[in-house]
Amino acid sequence: MNITLEQAEQIIAAAKSRSIAIDTKMNIAVVDAGANLVAFARMDGAWLGSLDISIKKAKTARYFDMNTGVIGELSQPGGALYNIEHSNNGLITFPGGVPVKDKDGNVIGAVGVSGSTVENDHDVAEAGVSAL
């Protein structure tokens, strides 16, 4: 099962709302179960360099079905996934990517957010996912 465009738009709307609430400007990407881009929003004034990062965060979260921050912890020197960020044409292994699950717990896509601190990125991504 895949995330629908309507669901992706709900995630983006909630993420934008949270971003405004914490006074940040974000790039927000939503991918489907195959890690294909479904929806994207770049808030006015959001960093151009974060566009690609948000998409890669979403893809990374979907490729491994876990938050990108968790992958980052596992990919530190000596960690079980050390150097994984060099696979799959480049991954992002810091917070801001979160898998999206349906009501039965199946992963149907992921959201990636970039444009502020990693803490804010993760907060905004979680707000988007919580909209479903």
Q: Average pLDDT, whole number, for the chain?
A: 96
- On the 0-12 / 13-18 / 19+ scale of CB atoms within 10 A, 2 is middle
Residues 6+ apart with CB under 8 A from 86: none
Q: Is the dihedral of CA 17, 21, 22, 26 positive or negative?
A: positive
Is the pLDDT reported for residue 72 higher than 90? yes
CATH tag for 5-130 (out of 3.90.550.10, 3.30.450.150, 3.90.1640.30, 1.20.120.450): 3.30.450.150
What is the structure's pLDDT at 1?
A: 84
pLDDT at 116 over 90: yes
Label residue 72 exposed, middle or buried (CB < 10 Å: 0-12, 13-18, 19+). buried
pTM for this predicted structure: 0.95
User: Tell me, what DSSP letter sits at residue 29?
Assistant: E
The string of pLDDT tens digits covering residues 3-60 is 999 999 999 999 999 999 999 999 999 999 999 999 999 999 999 999 999 999 999 9
Three-state SS for 66? coil
Instruction: Give the pLDDT confidence score for residue 67 in this predicted structure.
Output: 97
